[in-house]
Chains A and B, each alone.
Chain A
Amino acid sequence: MAESTIIAARRVDLPPERLVHMYRQMLRIRHFEEQVDLLFQAGRIWGTFHLYIGQEASAVGAIEVLEPDDYITSTHRGHGHSIAKGASIPLMMAELRGKETGYCRGRGGSMHIADVEAGNLGANGIVGGGIPIATGAALACKKLGNGRVVMCFFGDGALAQGAFHEAVNFAAVFKLPVVYVCENNQYAMSMPVARGLGSTDITVRAAAYGLPGVSVDGNDVLAVYEAAKEAVNRARRGEGPTIIETRTYRWRGHSKSDANRYRTKEEIEAWKQRCPIRRFGSFLEGLGILTPVDRDRMEREVEAEIQDAIAFADSQPDPDPAQLADGVYA
């Protein structure tokens, strides 16, 4: 655990309002996830979900680089990517409640939230399953010559999937405009990376495909941003894919059923000390961009936004079983 607890001093080439926006996006993810957990405990969300708490800097730092018409693919732990890509929180909440007006008309739930029109090609219930999809989307972007790029998120567990190897090699061969973002949250469910991977060095893997690979502090939103910026620029220039590793940590269990038997409270606490939101907030205070009062106010605004989304979802209709088969075929 060599990560710093502060944001490294660096030249910040983003205007203050962008930085504040990024901070707000991280807060929105954090509060959304906390409320999802509470709603589940209260029996108002069922099924399963995978909380992104602790990893917010990864999604926000990377997606902030994208243009609105660029694409992402996400994972089973996908709420953060959706929010960072600009998803409507009320529609996400409606989907988690299984409502007809949710993103997937209640057919998908947490693991399948998508908004193709807005460039979110979907969360995914299969570890590594989105990597070939992202690669194909990048192939389409290249063929269409539309200048767009695809950002493909997956976890450290997906590095052990065959789909990762096949798709990354494929993208390398055709120099596709895709950025692979491996969010290393240290565990593939209960398997620590050091036990589940022959090599934990992402740059070694990238080199094997002839690609640049970079590993960054995934709890430092600006470090993620900088790495993603370089990778996205490279992709847009037609120079092909990059693999980025964001080193981060999930605070909560893998899913709702996780009793955390495979790690210690001390380890979790140590990572909480490097909370990506607190670090970025302190950094912005240090620059004089935010005051403690601003931060409190933003927290309350975001809390209210999430509560409004919960109320919206409450008011929405369930899908009609008579329309069960809608959407199987076009």
Chain B
Amino acid sequence: MREITYAQAVREALAEEMRRDERVFLMGEDIGVYGGAFGVTLGLIDEFGPERVMDTPLSEAAIIGAAAGAAVLGMRPVAEVQFSDFLTIGSDQLVNQAAKMRYMFGGKARVPMVVRTPAGSGTGAAAQHSQSLETWFMHIPGLKVVAPATPYDAKGLLKSAIRDDNPVVVFEHKLLYKTKGQVPEEDYTVPIGKAAVRREGIDITVIATSIMVLRSLAAADRLAEEGISVEVIDLRSLRPLDAETIVKSVCKTGRAVVVHEANKFAGFGGEIVGTIVESEAFDYLDAPVVRVAGKDVPIPYNPHLERAAVPQEEDIVAACRSLMRQSPRWRALA
């Protein structure tokens, strides 16, 4: 199969869905000739024109709200919010309007809209252009939230999001845009709400999303050399959450590590831990469930500080080793 980048995969999803359905259109800041801050929409304006690849004023509330208003009338807008940090500026329209419109109106409205947004740290953009705010939005009934880790999923989940009749927020990690992966040329979708087991293992379940999946897989390679067998689950969707896949895996391994880039306090790791301990997996736990997450600081500018603020491969390795040392079987062997 051919390999393309994550950014190309996103662009293909947008182009194919616009060709497939004339109700689909794009709105965002500098997404036309400029191609978007990360070049994701580069060239789309040439094929689809400025009516369907709309450069908007710098107005996140208007972009998200206009997407919601257009969606209620049957269009399928895909809004790009240039940095996920800017979701805060438009969040009334997302949280109080788009997410709740259907329920408030007694189930009599559909809001088929997508908000795509580059997220995460690692680019030296500091505190207002580097956050991972997915937990804010997965807390809101009425929204769906996805965070693809691979080019295949970036394309397949975005297509599902565009075809979904609910508001879907797609978090795309900036550092993933240039990563490559296999993506088929024919049409396919990845269902929202289904996790993927990226690597099978028997000792520890590592649960991650987005770029943390890649770091968890790299950590799993190293741990395998030490005889620790790690199962890596890529959640892909945060809401709805595939609790079944998580619980099944933890029942098998008896140990769980949740990895996310967002700072630990009130991050989605708490929700995953809650999901595990409220389930039958609780009875299978051989050790406390551990969260490997960002430090509770704004993302700093200096590259050494920035790196220290979010989980790296070695942090995941260390957490897994420590967990194995705590568990009864390994203590008995020691």
Complex Cα distance, B93 from A304, in Å, reads 40
Instruction: Give Cα distance in the complex from A166 to B102, angstroms.
Output: 24
B288 to chain A: which residues have CB within 8 Å?
Answer: none
- Say yes or no: A330-B105 contact (C-beta < 8 A), given A135-B66, A170-B59: no
Residue B35 is within 8 A (CB to CB) of chain A in the complex: no
Q: B214 at the A/B interface (Cβ < 8 Å)?
A: no
User: Which residue of chain A has its CB nearest to the CB of B74?
Assistant: A140
Q: B146 CB to closest chain A CB, in angstroms? A: 14
Q: Which of A125, A163, A167, A327 touches B106 (beta carbons < 8 Å)? A: A327
Q: Which residues of B contact A163 (CB under 8 A)?
A: 61-62, 65, 92-93
Contact in complex: A137, B93 (CB < 8 Å) = no
The answer to whether A132 touches B104 (Cβ under 8 A) is no
User: Do A137 and B105 have beta carbons less than 8 Å apart?
Assistant: no
B69, A108: Cβ atoms under 8 Å?
no
Q: Once the chains bind, are A122 and B105 in contact (CB under 8 Å)?
A: yes
The answer to whether B70 touches A330 (Cβ under 8 A) is no
B 233-276 contacts with A by CB, 8 A: none
| Contact, CB under 8 Å: B102 / A327 | yes
Contact of A122 (CB < 8 Å), options: B56, B61, B65, B101: B101
Q: Decide: B72 and A133 in contact? CB cutoff 8 A.
A: yes
> Does the CB pair B65–A140 fall under 8 Å?
no
B14 near A: Cβ within 8 Å?
Answer: no
Q: Evaluate contact between B62 and A129: CB separation under 8 angstroms.
A: no
- Min C-beta distance of A218 to chain B, whole Å: 25
A140 adjacent to B70 (CB under 8 Å) = yes
Chain B positions 81 through 105: 1 when the CB is less than 8 Å from some CB of chain A, otherwise 0: 0000000000011001100011111
Contact A121:B62 (CB < 8 A) given known A108-B106, A126-B96, A143-B25:
no
Taking CB as reference atom, which chain B residue is nearest A134?
B69
Asked whether A107 is an interface residue with its Cβ less than 8 Å from the other chain, the reply is: yes
B196 adjacent to chain A (CB < 8 Å): no
Task: Please report which residues of chain B, range 50-76, place their CB below 8 angstroms from some CB of chain A when the two chains form the complex.
Answer: 51, 54, 56-57, 59-75
The 0/1 profile, CB within 8 Å of B marked 1, for residues 144-181 of chain A is 10000000000000000011001101100110000000
Please determine whether B105 and A114 come into contact, CB atoms closer than 8 angstroms: yes
Q: Which of B272-308 contact A (CB under 8 A)?
A: none
Known: A105-B107, A140-B75, A163-B61. A132 touches B96 (CB 8 A): no
Complex interface: chain A residues within 8 A of B56 (CB) = 170, 173
CB distance from B100 to the nearest CB of A (A): 8
Most buried by A among B56, B64, B73, B109: B73
Whether the pair B165, A116 counts as a contact (CB closer than 8 A) is no
A104 within 8 A of B: yes
In the complex, which residues 110-138 of chain B have their Cβ closer than 8 Å to any Cβ of chain A?
Answer: 110-112
Complex: A166 Cα to B57 Cα, angstroms: 8
B57/A116 in contact, CB under 8 A: no
Q: Which residue of chain B is the closest to A111 with respect to CB atoms?
A: B104
Interface flags for B139-164 (1: CB within 8 Å of A; 0: not) read 00110100000000000000000000
Contact B73 A137 (CB under 8 A): yes
B17-38 interface bits toward A, Cβ cutoff 8 Å, 1 = contact, 0 = none: 0000000010000000000000
Q: Assess whether B166 is interfacial by the CB under 8 Å rule.
A: yes
Q: If the complex has contacts A129-B96, A137-B69, A330-B165, are A167 and B57 also in contact, measured as CB distance less than 8 A? A: no
Set of chain A residues within 8 Å of B104, measured between Cβ atoms:
104, 107-108, 112, 114, 122
In the bound assembly, the distance between CA atoms of A102 and B105 in angstroms comes to: 10
The answer for the CA separation of A148 and B69 in the assembled complex, in Å, is 14
Given the known interface contacts A134-B69, A140-B70, the answer about A104 and B61 at a Cβ–Cβ threshold of 8 Å is no
Say which residue of B54, B65, B109 sits within 8 Å of A132 (CB atoms). Answer: B65
A sample of 20 cross-chain residue pairs with beta-carbon separation below 8 angstroms, ordered by A number, consists of A71-B73, A107-B104, A114-B105, A116-B109, A122-B105, A129-B65, A129-B96, A133-B69, A135-B69, A136-B69, A136-B77, A140-B75, A143-B25, A143-B51, A144-B75, A162-B61, A169-B62, A173-B56, A329-B144, A330-B112
Since A104-B105, A132-B61, A140-B69 are in contact, a sample of 17 more A-B pairs with Cβ atoms closer than 8 Å, ordered by chain A residue number, is A73-B69, A116-B105, A126-B92, A129-B92, A129-B97, A136-B66, A136-B69, A137-B70, A139-B69, A143-B75, A144-B74, A167-B66, A170-B57, A174-B54, A328-B142, A330-B165, A330-B166
Interface residues of B (CB under 8 A from A): 25, 51, 54, 56-57, 59-75, 77, 92-93, 96-97, 101-112, 141-142, 144, 165-166
